Amino acid sequence: MRRVLALCFATLLTAAPAAAAPKPPLDHHRGLLPRIQFSHGYAVDVTGASVVSEPGRRVMRLERRPRAGRVGLVVTPKP
């Protein structure tokens, strides 16, 4: 069985308490990719963001694309 990591998350806050100041969008995201699951590296399919870390890094860094309200990410291990 092949393991796949799939995520989808919002980058913009839709509601805030009345007393709270508006929060900026989440422009940068980080995710840990354990070597035990991705020992030979991984392939990435991402929407709404760009991968800004070096290929094959254990910590993947994403940067949100302008006006993207959601980020979708699928990571699959290389054989």
| pLDDT value of position 40 | 86
Whether this prediction's pTM lies above 0.75 is answered by no
Q: Token digits for 43?
A: 């392939």
At residue 14, the 3 state secondary structure works out as: coil
Average pLDDT score, the chain: 79
Contact 53, 46 (CB under 8 A): no
User: Which secondary structure element, helix H or strand E, spans residue 59, and what is its range?
Assistant: strand 59-64
Per-residue pLDDT for 14 more than 70?
A: no
In angstroms, the CA 33 to CA 17 distance is: 34
One-letter amino acid at 24 equals: P
| pLDDT value of position 66 | 85
Per-residue confidence band for 46, with pLDDT thresholds at 50, 70 and 90:
very high
User: What is the DSSP secondary structure assignment for residue 61, as one 8-state letter?
Assistant: E
43 bridge partner residues? 76
Per-residue confidence band for 30, with pLDDT thresholds at 50, 70 and 90:
confident
pLDDT tens sequence across 32-44: 788 888 888 889 9
Q: Token digits for 25?
A: 């969008």
